[in-house]
Structure 1
């Protein structure tokens, strides 16, 4: 017997159909990826370049959250203590190996409370005094330790009345804890201080007072919490913030992601410039990024870590604060930069090293 033409062709038809379906699914996934998370999407960046969209790559999707003035505590003229501390201590209670942004009692650490007193096994709760909040303002605090998984930190808002403060509601600021650079597959690193806060749109309408409530209910090694008093916070576009700041050192794993950066730190004639701004890679690419700045790897910018006095400015990927896009660091070094005199001399030499100055 002989199989009919349709039966003979069936396997080929099925193979073509399966291959076509696989290609369609793959293309659909690639097209849907930037739609699921448009911010920070390299696919969408490439599309923008082809269609005349926003031209600055990842820089168009990053928001900088610079600090504003520190808020001042105020009295309530009502019953009850100005603050309540149980298991928390003012101006202490944090890991001394990870000091707060400013020395306790100064700057953004003018008010500070922590529960790491006598070891992480202690527990407690804290209610700060009320602080005066200007209208339509974003706010931030700095925290160290753990704010979730049994512990808790909320910002409570109110409106001042003659007899005290009327509570308008509480908000839980998002806390993105980064991985430990040396143990990327391990637990998050809770000890470094980090800035968390709320945008003005997240603050209850009519609020002119704010205070902090925190609870330490855990006793494991990370079961403690420290927090500073509140300060104002604004939201600025990445490219706008960097305008007029520089020169900029971009970590080489991210060098192609910021096409609008112009004031790039230079390297030439045996000299490397001194960067004022460092754009660091995400933690998972930190070891690759360190090639240019690590002293033990002989990078051209190895001096920036011990002498540059770098500090981080809080940032986030717009709409996705959970994504580790990298970090923005500024130098606090106020010394003059690259003001030395340089003379360049050109010589012609053959392949014999003895003909070079200082050799032979």
Structure 2
């Protein structure tokens, strides 16, 4: 009888040590404390304290052998202190933040995360009410029922003790929730809830939580959402929100419950049936009671699996998480690394200019300057006149600096054009003028389109700075060459998703697959600047079709790479930079996640958090390399940065290594974090 207790303690101890969410493993012991104490006392009375408590303590403390197998007490305490200072380290009273995230429109509040939590709460409330009202749940033992309900309730309280408040922590309730759902099926069967009214009320509540869940997007986390339907919005059917249909169903079920309550007066329970009929009726009642839970949960699982299957089909020429997993099972896959393409040099994608003879095909340029960067043309802000305290509106530079100051225009300030843009191969044009409105019109020459663009294996890319608006439009015209000149077959306005926000330089990528432009063999740009406001200027480059190579060939498996969180999950073939004897290997590349996760990624690796960015900024510079997700050219998968050491030929340090035996509480001194000064700890003296 003590062996199950020892095994349970062993599992709980390792669970608590593995993750903060493991605190919920303590819940079964708390709700079973009274019978467990009675059990231990009975065995102590027979076998003695040592024979009973020894194995129990050994099972519970065995985890310490694993924890301190390769680290000391001082190391564990120091690591805990650093994690507490860097954070996130939220208190128990901030637990409502987790539920706020659960009802957000982000992946943390996705349908697949929201429904299980709400279902757990519904089952917990239903079984609790039935148990309190009837004293027990027929078909289930009284003790196990109480302990299961208590375990679920206490686990929700223990979850508040975790220092982070992510919604994926609710996944720890999978086993508890499954058992509680089975108990709820018993509690709502017709043999327990004899009133049809109550069963209809339960169905109405189930539809309500489905409706609440359906108000969130069907958004798997990170790159798993590529190709998934409704990843950015709540599910809908022919324009009708699924939540609306479900709430109507809940209202109808509630109306039926009210009608049932009015039709049948409460009375005595029906007489007991013979034993065989009672047994068959109990099976039938259980089947009916579990039907709503089983049907809706099963449909939701099928819908989620179907959504991932649709993503595999939709992204069959690109990337999907499901296809990458199948590729790993059936062979070898580098996951997302295989689907990312790299443009090593922008100039290799330069297009060949075509000669034109007709007036409509000849380039036109008025108000735009060639190969003049707006940053080079910008003048310092004119100081106010000392005589009247106002700016001189007549002299040169009267419009001041029309480029926002560094740090005032978001994450993408106006800087010099990226490497490879400007010059004869890929010229740039700019309507920026420091002392005039800078209006104008430009019609570029025709450029030959390579087969890669027409076949959809590479996009047409235009780099833009400034503001695109109805008064500063930029249009790409696609045409076929004929004996009479160029026959325009399609117009694509440059707008929509870009690689960065304005007003700095960013790329707009035009995929031609499935468009009329796929049949073209020439392209040109037509721009107009009719905006006379200070920020109404436009700069852009000639179109290019990048020459692409696989990211796998570049970064896997030899070069050391700095993998930001959570990039390492989807780049299994990439080798992280090594740290040996306290010396870090300088990485050659850095992989960052998409914009949504970039801020979280930078926080843990920042200099203030003691991360590698601190020493990397001192030793090297970083330059972004254009990258593309296969067949999804404008999707933000992340970034690839080339790390260039400031001293390329620096000699490696000469190390003197040795071995010393120390006590487990010895420490050479605390690590610095969060800008705090180092102090000698008591353990290190």
The separation in 2 between residues aligned to 1:214 and 1:36, in whole angstroms, is 39
Q: Find 2:571's aligned residue among 243, 258, 269.
A: 258
Is the alpha carbon distance of 1:220 and 1:64 closer, same or farther for their aligned partners in structure 2, counting shifts above 3 Å? Answer: farther
Pairing 1:249–2:565 present? no
Alignment of 1:102-121 (within 5 A): 102=419, 105-106=422-423, 110-118=426-434
Checking the alignment, whether the CA contact within 8 Å between 2:622 and 2:643 is kept in structure 1 is: yes
Pairing 1:343–2:660 present? no
Q: Find 1:99's aligned residue among 398, 416, 424.
A: 416
Is the alpha carbon distance of 1:162 and 1:26 closer, same or farther for their aligned partners in structure 2, counting shifts above 3 Å? Answer: closer
Q: Find 1:56's aligned residue among 334, 346, 351.
A: 334
Is the alpha carbon distance of 1:352 and 1:41 closer, same or farther for their aligned partners in structure 2, counting shifts above 3 Å? Answer: closer
Aligned residue number for residue 596 of structure 2: 284
Is the alpha carbon distance of 1:240 and 1:146 closer, same or farther for their aligned partners in structure 2, counting shifts above 3 Å? Answer: farther
The separation in 1 between residues aligned to 2:427 and 2:538, in whole angstroms, is 14
Aligned residue number for residue 194 of structure 2: 8
The separation in 1 between residues aligned to 2:485 and 2:667, in whole angstroms, is 86
Moved more, 5-14 or 193-202: 5-14
C-alpha deviations, 1:312-333, integer Å up to 9, x for none?
2333334444542211222355
Checking the alignment, whether the CA contact within 8 Å between 1:248 and 1:264 is kept in structure 2 is: yes
**With structure 2 as the length reference, what TM-score do the two structures score?**
0.42
The separation in 1 between residues aligned to 2:555 and 2:436, in whole angstroms, is 40
The separation in 2 between residues aligned to 1:297 and 1:334, in whole angstroms, is 23
C-alpha deviations, 1:196-238, integer Å up to 9, x for none?
344575754462x432112345567764321112333134343
**What is the CA-CA distance between 1:113 and the residue it aligns to?**
0.8
**What is the CA-CA distance between 1:278 and the residue it aligns to?**
1.0
**What is the CA-CA distance between 1:282 and the residue it aligns to?**
1.6
Is the alpha carbon distance of 1:103 and 1:328 closer, same or farther for their aligned partners in structure 2, counting shifts above 3 Å? Answer: closer
Is the alpha carbon distance of 1:36 and 1:103 closer, same or farther for their aligned partners in structure 2, counting shifts above 3 Å? Answer: closer
Aligned residue number for residue 70 of structure 1: 350
The separation in 2 between residues aligned to 1:282 and 1:99, in whole angstroms, is 24
The separation in 2 between residues aligned to 1:308 and 1:54, in whole angstroms, is 34
Pairing 1:89–2:369 present? yes
Q: Find 2:502's aligned residue among 164, 170, 190.
A: 190
Pairing 1:268–2:580 present? yes
The separation in 2 between residues aligned to 1:252 and 1:6, in whole angstroms, is 50
The separation in 2 between residues aligned to 1:193 and 1:53, in whole angstroms, is 41
Checking the alignment, whether the CA contact within 8 Å between 2:593 and 2:637 is kept in structure 1 is: yes
Is the alpha carbon distance of 1:146 and 1:307 closer, same or farther for their aligned partners in structure 2, counting shifts above 3 Å? Answer: farther
Pairing 1:317–2:629 present? yes
**What is the CA-CA distance between 1:191 and the residue it aligns to?**
2.0
Q: Which has the higher contact order (CA 8 A, sep 6+)?
A: 1
Checking the alignment, whether the CA contact within 8 Å between 1:70 and 1:107 is kept in structure 2 is: no
- Higher strand proportion (structure 1 or 2): 1
Is the alpha carbon distance of 1:149 and 1:238 closer, same or farther for their aligned partners in structure 2, counting shifts above 3 Å? Answer: farther
Is the alpha carbon distance of 1:270 and 1:277 closer, same or farther for their aligned partners in structure 2, counting shifts above 3 Å? Answer: same
Structure 2 segments unaligned to the other structure (5+ residues): 1-189, 203-289, 377-413, 670-683
Checking the alignment, whether the CA contact within 8 Å between 1:251 and 1:281 is kept in structure 2 is: yes
Is the alpha carbon distance of 1:22 and 1:80 closer, same or farther for their aligned partners in structure 2, counting shifts above 3 Å? Answer: closer
Aligned residue number for residue 143 of structure 1: 464
The separation in 2 between residues aligned to 1:206 and 1:340, in whole angstroms, is 54
**With structure 1 as the length reference, what TM-score do the two structures score?**
0.74
Q: Secondary structure at the match of 1:329?
A: strand
Aligned residue number for residue 186 of structure 1: none
Structure 1 segments unaligned to the other structure (5+ residues): 180-188
Is the alpha carbon distance of 1:35 and 1:222 closer, same or farther for their aligned partners in structure 2, counting shifts above 3 Å? Answer: farther
The separation in 1 between residues aligned to 2:432 and 2:646, in whole angstroms, is 34
**What is the CA-CA distance between 1:280 and the residue it aligns to?**
0.6
- Higher helix proportion (structure 1 or 2): 2
**What is the CA-CA distance between 1:284 and the residue it aligns to?**
2.1
RMSD: 4.1
Q: Secondary structure at the match of 2:566?
A: helix
